Amino acid sequence: MNALFNRSCFSLDRSRSRCRFGATILCLPHVIIMSLLAVGGCGKQTQPAPRNTDVDPPSTFPLSQPQQEAPALARLNFRWGDATSELIAIVQRLPPEDRLAVGLGALATGVDIYGARVQLTNTGNVPLRIFPQNILIHFGGETTEVYTFPHQLFLRPTILQPNDQVEGVVAYSARMDIGAAIRLGSGEMSYRDPTILVTYD
């Protein structure tokens, strides 16, 4: 009787791999899978690693040092040569009224009046104020200043930028013997300004 009951109520169908107990129920493997799903899966779920909120500050690098500016250098190169012949030629090309107008009348004869062409170059790194009256001429123990006239060929006051150059004619008065000696290269000229380093060629 028990054997008949077991055969009628409980049989294993190997080909279809499912269990029958009066009514259809899940087979054992399915029961295991469902049990695992019910408790949260077939294995232990991997929890995401907690985020590290202690973020290290970005590495800081020392700021580059600003380039230091070159120290101010007021330097002037001074060159000169005789220009008496040029000075007389300027006067001779002017009409008499123009000579008087610009104050060149006395230069017409060339007596005791001499000329020099000067060239000044700013070899420093700051602008320089140039004044013709700062130019001196020396012979022996004597020193005299030069002077200019309102004419385009004469040196004029100006502001000389670094690496710029200016040149022009200046005049000076001297005794004939001194003037002749200076024209032959026996004299010297200088630029007087205590704020400027002057070099000579």
CATH number, domain containing residue 195: 2.60.40
DSSP letters along 70-85, please? PPP--EEEEEEEE-HH
15: in domain: yes
177 within some domain: yes
The neighbouring-strand residues paired with 191 are: 135
Tell me the pLDDT tens digit for each residue of 12-56.
444 444 444 444 444 445 444 455 445 454 445 555 555 655 555
Indicate yes or no: pTM above 0.85: no
Token couple for 166: 């200016």
Under the phi-then-psi rule, with left for phi > 0, alpha for psi from -120 to 50, and beta for the rest, what region is 183? alpha
Q: Do 11 and 109 lie in a common domain? A: no
**Domain-located, residue 70:** no
- Asked whether residue 57 is domain-assigned, the answer is no
What stretch of H or E contains 148? none
- pLDDT of 49 reads 58
| 99 and 166 fall within a common domain | yes
Residues 91 and 139 in one domain: yes
Reading the block at residue 142, the tokens are 């004597």
Tell whether the model's pLDDT for residue 143 goes beyond 60: yes
Helix ranges (H only) for the chain are: 2-9, 28-38, 84-93, 96-102, 176-183
- Looking at per-residue pLDDT, the higher value among 190 and 68 belongs to 190
Q: Do 94 and 175 belong to one domain?
A: yes
**Cα separation, 15 vs 99, whole angstroms:** 137
Instruction: Note down the domain range covering 101.
Output: 75-200
In a domain, residue 93? The reply is: yes
Confidence of residue 176 (pLDDT cuts 50, 70, 90): confident
- 194 and 108 in one domain? yes
For 184, the token pair is 């032959």
Across residues 80-92, what is the average pLDDT? Answer: 87
Residue 58: phi, psi to the nearest 5? Answer: -60, 150
Q: What is the pLDDT of residues 89-120, one digit of tens each?
A: 887 887 777 776 666 655 555 557 889 999 99
- How many residues can be counted in the chain? 201
**Residues 16 and 92 both lie in one domain:** no
Which amino acid appears at position 75 of this protein? R
Number of domains, the chain? 2
Q: What order of strands is seen across the sheet that includes strand 18-21?
A: 10-13, 18-21, 23-25
pLDDT of residue 129: 97
Residues 91 and 161 in one domain: yes
- Asked if residue 30 and residue 81 are part of one domain, the reply reads no
Tell which residue, 167, 158, 165, has the closest CA to residue 131: 158
Residues 84, 14, single domain; the answer is: no
Q: Which two tokens stand for residue 139?
A: 């012979």
Burial of 17: CB neighbours in 10 Å, binned 0-12, 13-18, 19+: exposed
